[in-house]
Structure 1
Amino acid sequence: MIVKNVYTEYIYPALFPERYRPLKKYKNLYQGRRCFIVATGPSLTLDDVERIKGEVTFGMNSVFRLFDKTSWRPNFYGVIDTWVFGNIKDELAEQEFECAFYPDKYIKWERAFCHPVAIAQGIGYNLKVRRMLPKRVRGVRFSSDISKRAYEGTSVVHFLLQIIFYMGFKEIYLLGTDCNYSGPVKHSFLASYKNSDQLGNSAEDIYNGLIEDYRYAAKVAAKRGIKIYNATRGGMLEVFPRVKLEEIGL
């Protein structure tokens, strides 16, 4: 496993840099602008996505399940978790996005609008190590150049934040990042996962990992002069200042 990961994360990208060269066009492409990350937490509403039409937005995972209810579409889409991808891949095959990002060599999704990104998983990828050592001990990594590699985190938001920072955005708003997973997945919210009643990992593991990822992203953002706000309705994410979507000035 270690040898395979080293090859996938470091040797392969070095041998075939042209595969990731298209990512370079996004460097500082949106310098100084703002964007919205639309996660798929239970708090997300149709009114939320309707309000941000015309803004630069990033969607993820099962967010396409909203498309039959709204004309809103994300400018960018991302998926990174193989467990999630396995649950949505048949539906994804029917989707068209303006631009999408996914982890190369771990997910097979070759479409004209897709950009593969070399993903470094590191020590945290091993589930046994993940359970023995807390995230703050294992550490969090954050890429400054996605054309070389990005680092895996506990959620796809960590992946997208690395892309967003690379693009030059200076103001980021989070929607639907509830961070309050508790037991079985509920299917009552807008973009729930089909045919799956349980989360891939324990709710505690997911929550603790998420918070450490967000804390680290907040530190990187502060150093780079980037502002991150949580516009989620409720939830348990308190790392970033909270704002109400209605008061942002859309």
Structure 2
Amino acid sequence: MLKMIDFKGIHEGEAGWIVGNGPSLNEMDLTFLNDKVNFCMNRIYLGVEEMGFTPKYYTVEDVFVAEDTPDEINALKYCKFLPKDLDYCLKEDENVCWVDFLRRYDGFPKFSADADEVVYWGSTVTYLAMQLAYYMGCDPIYLIGVDFDYVVPDYADGPDITSREADQNHFHPDYFGPGKRWHHPRLDLVEKAYIESRRFIEGNGRRIYNAGVGGKLTIFERVNYLDVR
């Protein structure tokens, strides 16, 4: 089993690429990620063969994703950072590093500088990835595929949604396809978390950018991924 402390500062001064799962990924040439420190998440494995790259680090924190696709996640050979409270459905193996993931806490949002002690919930798995990238020393941190744009179906009548059709909010139609559960996107909370991540990261002398194509994310300074990859 892997230990978080072994990753502290392991990529100091290296760029870290956080790969969201928005549709904009399909508009990018992602083969360059094979030579980069990259952080992927959730059901990215549905598209990596076609996209032409292999995830280096993988994480998931959404209970629905973990519960609905445990066999797929357990079979992944990537280096996986998994919340300890998901150990009832996700298995330990030589590729797993368990993290102390705090879902409920006062003073939301908080950003952890010490992922070996705690990592905070931020209403999006990308917030977890940001804390991992910071802990490993990545600078700058680039976001791609973080489109900050969702279409919520008319039949959604609560915080939990069970999909009835192909997913149009992610890079693959099966991502949250028919029968898959997902949470109503709380972009108001995500926005607060992203603002805090920028404040914390830049306040500590590092940099974080939106290097994605299109989308509606304006919290981070935009750069062209073709210029910085």
Deviations for 1:18-55, whole angstroms, at most 9, x for unmatched residues? x88x2111111111110111110111127432233311
Aligned to 1:195, which of 174, 178, 184? 178
Q: 1:197 offset after TM fit, Å?
A: 6.1
Aligned to 1:13: none
Q: Which secondary structure state, in structure 1, belongs to the residue aligned with residue 142 of structure 2?
A: strand
Alignment of 1:27-66 (within 5 A): 27-45=8-26, 47-66=28-47
1:99-114 matches, cutoff 5 A = 99-107=79-87, 108-114=90-96
Aligned ranges for residues 123-134 of structure 1 at < 5 Å?
A: 123=105
Normalised to the residue count of structure 1, the TM-score between the two structures is: 0.78
- Partner of 2:64 in structure 1? 83
Q: Deviations over 1:199-245 (max 9, x none)?
A: 312x3xx2111111100000001121111110121112111111111
- Find 1:217's aligned residue among 178, 197, 200: 197
| Displacement of 1:80 | 0.7
Per-residue CA deviation, residues 59-101 of structure 1 (Å, 9 max, x unaligned), is 100100113324411110010111122232232233221x110
Gaps of 5+ in 1: 1-18, 125-137
- Alpha-carbon distance in structure 1 between the residues aligned to 2:25 and 2:95: 26
| Secondary structure in 1 matching 2:22 | coil
Q: Following TM superposition, where does structure 1 have runs of at least 4 consecutive aligned residues deviating by more than 6 angstroms?
A: none
Structure 2: state its 5+ residue gaps.
154-162
CA distance in 1: counterparts of 2:99 and 2:130, whole angstroms: 13
| CA gap 1:176/1:114 in 2 versus in 1, 3 angstroms | same
Structure 2 partner of 1:3: none
Matched, 1:237 2:217: yes
Distance 2:27 2:71 in 1: 24
Task: Call closer, same or farther: CA 1:123–1:148 in 2, change over 3 Å.
Answer: closer
Measure, in 1, the Cα distance between the counterparts of 2:75 and 2:140.
32
Q: TM-score, normalised by structure 2?
A: 0.85
Q: Which residue of 1 aligns with 2:55?
A: 74
2:116 to 123, 147, 150: 147
* Equivalent residue letter for 1:118: D
- The structure-2 alpha-carbon separation of the partners of 1:63 and 1:223, relative to structure 1 and needing over 3 Å to count, comes to same
Which amino acid is 1:115 matched to? C
Contact 1:173 1:229 in 2 (8 A): yes
Structure with more helix by fraction: 1
Structure 2 SS opposite 1:215: helix
- Note the 1:163-202 alignment, pairs <5 A: 163-184=132-153, 186-188=166-168, 189-191=170-172, 192-196=175-179, 199-201=182-184
